[in-house]
Amino acid sequence: MSFKSGFVSIVGRPNVGKSTLLNSITGEKIAIMSEKPQTTRNTIKAVVTGDNYQLVFIDTPGIHKPKTKLGDYMVNIAVESLSEVDAVLFLVEANTVKPGPGDLYIIDQLKNVKSNVFLVINKIDLVDKAQLLPLIDAYKDLMDFEAIIPISALTDGKQDLLISEVLKVMPEGPKYFPDDMLTDQPEKLIAAELIREKILQLVSDEVPHGVGVEVISFKQREDKNIINIQANIYCEKDTHKGILIGKGGKMLKKIGSLSRIEIENLLGTKVFLELWVKVKPDWRNNEQMLKVLGYKK
C-alpha cells in the first residue's frame, strides 16, 4: 500500500480556533488557547501518523495588521507558510452571519496560493445546522474551495472527517517524523507558553499582550522524580509588574499554581515551579528579546 504524507497550514482570523484544532487533532495540549486574539506567537507543528499516512499540521499566528516588530514577524510567518505546503485549511467561525473584513482579507491572499485550499467552518456546536447553509453559500461565492468541512474543534474527537478529506489531496511521500512524535515544540517552550496562557486567562486586557515568558532553567531533581522549572515573566511597565505580582504576591501564586498543574499534565511528572516578574520596556520591538523568547531565530 502506498504511503501519503504532507504539510497542512491552518490559517484564519485570530480566535477562530486554530490552536484548539491542533490540540484536538493530536489529543494533547501542545498549543495554548485563549479567548484573547493574538495568543499564538510561534509556528507550531502537530504530527498525526496513521497506518499509511502522516500529516503535519501547522498552526500559524493569526493574520492581522501588524503594529510592532513582533506583530510584523507573526504576519510574515503566517503568509509565508502558505506557499510551501500541500494543503491550506482556512478556518472560519460558524457563529457569524457572513464573512467579515478579516476573512475577506485572508481570502484575497489565498487566491494567489497554489496549494489546495479547504474551507473549515469551526464552532458548529454554537449554531443550528440551518444557519450554516447561507454562510457556506456566501463563502462559495468568494472563492473555489477544494471542499467545505464543518467541525467543532472543541467538542469533536479526532477530526476523522477532516483528516480523510485532506488525505484525498495528499501526495505519496515519506514519513517525516517518528511515529510517536506529536509536535516539534520542545517541552521547555510549551511550559513557557502554558505559563503565558494562565496570564492571558487571569490578568486584565492590556497586560498580557506585553508579556513574554522565558524558562531559564528546566532540570530533573536528582533525588526525586520532580522537575524544577524557573521562569522569568517579562512585562513592559512597573504598573504591569505590580498587577502580575498582585497584593501580597497573590496573583503570581495563582499563575504559578494553575500553570504548574498544566505543566505536570504535559510532562507526566511532579513539577516545582518558580516564577519571577521583570520589567523590560518595549521588549516587543527588541530583536534580542524576541530571540531570547524563541519568537525569532
- Residue numbers at the binding site for K ion (CB under 5 A): 15, 34, 39
Site size for ligand GDP, by CB under 6 A? 21
Q: How far apart are CB 46 and Mg ion at their closest, in Å?
A: 12
Q: Which is nearer to Mg ion, 39 or 116 (CB)?
A: 39
> Which neighbouring-strand residues pair with 118?
89
Site string for ligand GDP, 51-70 (x = CB under 6 A): -----------x--------
Based on the shown chain and the rule CB under 5 A, indicate whether residue 232 belongs to the binding site for Mg ion: no
Q: How far apart are CB 30 and ligand GDP at their closest, in Å?
A: 12
Instruction: Tell me which stretch binds ligand GDP (CB under 6 A): 104-112, 113-121, 151-159, 260-268.
Output: 151-159
Which of 84, 125, 137, 274 is in the footprint of ligand GDP by CB under 6 A? Answer: 125
Q: What are phi and psi of 32, to 5 degrees?
A: -75, 155
Within residues 206-225, the interface with Mg ion by CB under 5 A covers none
d(CA 170, CA 157): 22
> Which neighbouring-strand residues pair with 228?
219, 272
Q: How far apart are CB 152 and Mg ion at their closest, in Å?
A: 16
Q: Which amino acid is at 287?
A: E
Kindly state the DSSP code that residue 154 receives in the 8-state scheme: T
Q: Which residue is nearest to ligand GDP (CB)?
A: 17
Q: What are phi and psi of 77, to 5 degrees?
A: -60, -45
Binding residue per annotation — 291?
no
- Residue position matching grid coordinates 479526532: 158
Binding residue per annotation — 13?
yes
d(CA 137, CA 130): 12
Using an 8 Å Cβ cutoff, are 40 and 16 in contact? no
d(CA 90, CA 8): 10
Which of 19, 23, 54, 183 is in the footprint of Mg ion by CB under 5 A? Answer: 19
Kindly state the DSSP code that residue 183 receives in the 8-state scheme: B
Q: How far apart are CB 40 and ligand GDP at their closest, in Å?
A: 5
- Strand, helix or coil at 53? strand
Based on the shown chain and the rule CB under 6 A, indicate whether residue 152 belongs to the binding site for ligand GDP: yes
State how far Cα 33 lies from the chain centre: 7
Q: How far apart are CB 198 and K ion at their closest, in Å?
A: 14
The H or E element that residue 278 is part of is: strand 270-279
Q: Which amino acid is at 241?
A: K
Within residues 84-123, the interface with Mg ion by CB under 5 A covers none
- List of residues contacting ligand GDP (CB under 6 A): 12, 14-20, 33-35, 39-40, 62, 122-123, 125-126, 152-154
Q: Which positions make up the binding site?
A: 12-19, 59-63, 122-125
Q: Residue ranges for the binding site for GTP?
A: 12-19, 59-63, 122-125
